[in-house]
Amino acid sequence: MISHTFAHTGPLKGTIRVPGDKSISHRSLMFAGLAVGESRITGLLEGEDVLATAAAMRAFGAQIERSADGIWTVYGAGVGSLLEPKQALDMGNSGTSTRLLMGLVASHAITATFIGDASLSGRPMKRVIDPLTQMGASIEASAGGTLPLMLRGAAPAVPITYRLPVASAQVKSAVLLAGLNTPGITRVIEPVPTRDHTERMLTGFGATVEVGEENGEKIIAIHCEADLMPCDVVVPGDPSSAAFFMVAASIVPGSDLTIMNVGLNPTRAGLLHVLRQMGADIKEVNPREVGGEPVADLRVRYAPLSGIDVDPAIAPAMIDEFPVLFVAAAIASGTTRTSGLDELRVKESDRLAAMAAALTAAGAQVEEHEDGLSIHGTGGEPLRGTANARVKSLLDHRIAMSMAVAGLVSTGGVEVDDISPINTSFPTFMGLLAEATA
């Protein structure tokens, strides 16, 4: 464990560039690893989660190399031609890697065992196990439907039409990836929209994907394809990583920070919308499109924030950003209320309980409810917890980084008990924070 104390060091200034989008990085390695031929990936996030995906795709037969200039070259194994891994696939802390790769294996005649760290091994996999079992895969999981688990793929798998019981881009993606090597058409019905990188990127790699709507619900259909085509991918900056700096610059007086090359996919831009509702001063500079994804530079200046009732319908578009939004709410004027956030209880940690405890220790007024938090803000005053208030990250990178931001607006500083989990998603976080506050 590596503890660190974060304290007020002055406004955030200058220009920073956050690492590549984690969701797109995972998928670019997977889809390039399934394509026949050479793909090149620029801007890949080189955090531990994405490297777990790279290691797994190598185990399935893809050739993946990183050059000195940071460009990754992938020679794919081909849909239908995955090799059986010689040993268990260690997913570390990555739920995305696990659930999407389970979908890949489900329609191939191979067996794979998935293992992970203590945090990942407590996360629910039944939501993926259910549809993949319907498609013919055989899955033996640990008690409670968790890792470690062994998955035997079906060949041929059975196409299904699956209605998502929870809003989850990972479950949707797992079913669609299984559908890549399943005869016929596999469909997913999505009552609540979730991030759509899988649909956009599979289309870019040459898959036949149809997106329609029926009775107000989104329907995504994927046709069985023999081959994906290689593709060069430029990964935009991760909006979930930019979120910590968007909030920090919004709540630290005097800040004027530009965050370059941020992906603004509408299914991921919920935090931007909510912060603006609260009064944040965030401008999109040089908006453009890169590889089918909207991108812009974000100029964020300090502005007094006001508490709001957050519409639960926006949750899927910012599910990973709520921990740092709670920090913004703690400094706003009035009360911010959130609801419909049951999903946060089954992330890397129970993020509702973890953030309620951490913010309370830092001096915030927080009420925890079954599906959300109510936070009574300070009206712009710094948090007045005990000196060097010690908070638990619970092996959760987003809790650690959110409380780092809280430390910037506290009178006594905030000590995060373990910052090492930050490397799973944002290995340059500490350096960028030091650069922006220098």
Strands 111-115 and 89-90: parallel
* Residue 301 is labelled as binding a ligand: no
Amino acid at 184: G
* Residue 67 is labelled as binding a ligand: no
* Residue 333 is labelled as binding a ligand: no
Structure tokens at 135: 């498609």
Cα(272)–Cα(299) distance, integer angstroms: 12
Name the active-site residue from 320, 342, 371, 396. 320
Nearest 10 degrees: CA dihedral of 77, 82, 84, 90?
80
* Residue 86 is labelled as binding a ligand: no
* Residue 288 is labelled as binding a ligand: no
**If you compute the radius of gyration of the chain from its CA atoms, what whole number of angstroms results?**
21
* Residue 27 is labelled as binding a ligand: yes
Contact in structure between 322 and 338 (CB atoms under 8 Å): yes
Residue 227 is a catalytic residue:
no
* Residue 23 is labelled as binding a ligand: yes
* Residue 342 is labelled as binding a ligand: no
* Residue 76 is labelled as binding a ligand: no
* Residue 195 is labelled as binding a ligand: no
* Residue 170 is labelled as binding a ligand: yes
Binding site feature residues for phosphoenolpyruvate? 22, 95, 123, 170, 351, 398
Binding site feature residues? 22-23, 27, 95, 123, 168, 170, 320, 347, 351, 398
Residues annotated as part of the active site: 320
Binding site feature residues for 3-phosphoshikimate? 22-23, 27, 168, 170, 320, 347
